[in-house]
């Protein structure tokens, strides 16, 4: 790389970024679990549990460590903050580091919040969201997005909420930071502090598994316009197992799913597509039963049927005996980065900047001040 190019890259990274006071800590608060009647914490021998006097029931775990059980009233009203000091502590099925906060929620059930550094969080999310053996440039694009998404959520949460993100697909997949995978760790390190911005603020960095040929405009999914979440042609995700898919679902199963979601349809007879978006995803459809019909959004149909049963709203449906056959492409809402597309672009020699610029047109890569990227 020439010196001029390096200088240009350095300049593009030094643009000022709006960082609110709330986000200035460089910490992310993740809601790991909620609504639990009880919790089991396993402390390894190197963790000193003496500071946790008067909390829960403690017993030796048989391997030199301590198992602590919390149930019912065995948690102080204001909750507990446990600083793990870098030691991995198992909380139910999660292996956590950073600060573990145990609280009671409004229903009197336990809630676990994990507070950890933005960089540690980024590394963990990349490891969950993409295969650890994926090409580095795709992992780096994912690292920038994971970090950006966390920043966006932290800056846009409502004041009453005491966490920034959930650990599930609702936010980004997070399974604790204890297992360090080489590729994701390198991707986080090589993009340290980098986030994607529009007009100087972190973008709403949504992404999905596979677009199946064209990404979706955010407006067609959520009814909100974003200048950088527009439909893009994608010819890089053909390798995805979700590039093309076929599902056969019994009518009785579809009836049940729709009824549970509040659509009173009995004996589904036909599915008519009323309107498709530019990316050919279903915007509105009519489902016709024995005694009436309902017009619904494609996204609502997918939600009612189950997100894994119907991987995307880009499908055709026809009746076949006692079932409906769905033939579709892509997986997920289709907005923003196509993860398999990023993998394909990286395999074709594109770098993470080119990948991000492609899926989020008009955005700028920026670097957080050093003390925020912890
Ligand atoms: Zn794609």
Mean pLDDT of the chain: 87
Does residue 307 lie in a domain region?
A: yes
Write the pLDDT tens digit of every residue in 160-217: 677 777 776 666 777 776 677 889 999 999 999 999 999 999 999 999 999 999 999 9
Cα distance between residue 192 and residue 119, in whole Å: 7
The angle, 0 to 180 degrees and rounded to 10, between the axes of the packed helices 298-305 and 251-260 is 110
| Token output for 64 | 């030199």
Q: Band the pLDDT of 158: cuts 50, 70, 90.
A: low
Residue 27 CA to ligand 1 centre (angstroms) = 32
Residue 342 CA to ligand 1 centre (angstroms) = 8
Residue 310 CA to ligand 1 centre (angstroms) = 17
Residue 343 CA to ligand 1 centre (angstroms) = 9
For the segment 83-109, the average pLDDT, to the nearest whole number, is: 88
Does residue 50 lie in a domain region?
A: no
* Contacts of residue 206, Cβ cutoff 8 Å, sequence gap at least 6: 149, 218, 229, 333, 335, 336
Question: Is 50 exceeded by the pLDDT of residue 362?
Answer: yes
Residue 152 CA to ligand 1 centre (angstroms) = 24
Residue 236 CA to ligand 1 centre (angstroms) = 6
Residue 352: count other Cβ atoms within 10 Å of its Cβ: 26
Does residue 288 lie in a domain region?
A: yes
For the segment 272-276, the average pLDDT, to the nearest whole number, is: 97
Does residue 277 lie in a domain region?
A: yes
Q: Band the pLDDT of 17: cuts 50, 70, 90.
A: very low
Residue 194 CA to ligand 1 centre (angstroms) = 24
Question: Is 90 exceeded by the pLDDT of residue 122?
Answer: yes
Residue 192 CA to ligand 1 centre (angstroms) = 26
The β-bridge partners of 249 are: 324
Tell me the backbone φ, ψ of residue 338, rounded to 5 degrees.
-95, 115
Does residue 131 lie in a domain region?
A: no
Are the C-beta atoms of 194 and 58 separated by less than 8 Å? no
Residue 304 belongs to domain spanning:
245-328
User: How many independent structural domains does the chain possess?
Assistant: 1
Residue 363 CA to ligand 1 centre (angstroms) = 19
Are the C-beta atoms of 154 and 142 separated by less than 8 Å? no
* Contacts of residue 348, Cβ cutoff 8 Å, sequence gap at least 6: 236
Tell me the backbone φ, ψ of residue 41, rounded to 5 degrees.
-115, 130
Residue 154 CA to ligand 1 centre (angstroms) = 28
Residue 126 CA to ligand 1 centre (angstroms) = 18
Residue 264 CA to ligand 1 centre (angstroms) = 35
Residue 8 CA to ligand 1 centre (angstroms) = 29
Does residue 291 lie in a domain region?
A: yes
Cα dihedral value 313, 315, 319, 324, nearest 10: -50
Does residue 339 lie in a domain region?
A: no
Residue 132 CA to ligand 1 centre (angstroms) = 19
Does residue 189 lie in a domain region?
A: no
């Amino acid at each position: 790389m020439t010196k001029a190019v390096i200088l240009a890259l350095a300049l593009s990274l030094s643009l000022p970024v709006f960082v609110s006071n709330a986000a200035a800590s460089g910490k992310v608060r993740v809601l790991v679990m909620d609504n639990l009647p009880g919790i089991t914490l396993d402390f390894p021998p190197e963790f000193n549990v003496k500071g946790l006097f008067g909390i829960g029931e403690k017993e030796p775990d048989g391997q030199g460590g301590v198992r602590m059980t919390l149930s019912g009233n065995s948690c102080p009203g204001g909750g507990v903050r446990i600083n793990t000091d870098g030691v991995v502590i198992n909380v139910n099925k999660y292996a956590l580091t950073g600060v573990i906060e145990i609280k009671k929620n409004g229903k009197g059930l336990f809630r676990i919040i994990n507070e950890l550094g933005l960089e540690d969080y980024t590394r963990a999310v990349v490891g969950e969201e993409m295969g650890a053996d994926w090409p580095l440039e795709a992992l780096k694009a994912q690292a920038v997005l994971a970090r950006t998404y966390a920043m966006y959520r932290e800056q846009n949460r409502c004041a009453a909420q005491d966490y920034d993100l959930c650990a599930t697909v609702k936010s980004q997949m997070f399974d604790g930071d204890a297992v360090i995978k080489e590729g994701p760790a390198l991707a986080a390190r090589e993009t340290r502090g980098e986030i994607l911005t529009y007009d100087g603020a972190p973008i709403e960095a949504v992404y999905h598994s596979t677009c199946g040929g064209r990404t979706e405009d955010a407006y067609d999914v959520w009814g909100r316009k974003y200048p950088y979440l527009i439909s893009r042609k994608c010819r890089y995700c053909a390798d995805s197992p979700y590039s093309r898919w076929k599902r056969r679902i019994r009518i009785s199963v579809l009836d049940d799913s729709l009824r549970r979601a509040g659509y009173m349809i009995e004996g589904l007879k036909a599915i008519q597509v009323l309107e498709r978006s530019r990316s050919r995803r279903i915007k509105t459809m009519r489902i016709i039963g024995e005694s009436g019909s309902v017009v619904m959004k494609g996204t609502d149909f997918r939600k009612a049927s189950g997100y894994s049963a119907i991987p995307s709203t880009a499908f055709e449906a026809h009746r076949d005996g006692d079932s409906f056959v769905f033939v579709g492409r892509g997986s997920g809402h289709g907005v923003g980065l196509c993860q398999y597309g990023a993998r394909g672009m990286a395999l074709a020699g594109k770098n993470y900047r080119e990948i991000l610029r492609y899926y989020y047109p008009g955005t700028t890569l920026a670097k957080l001040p050093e003390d925020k990227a912890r």
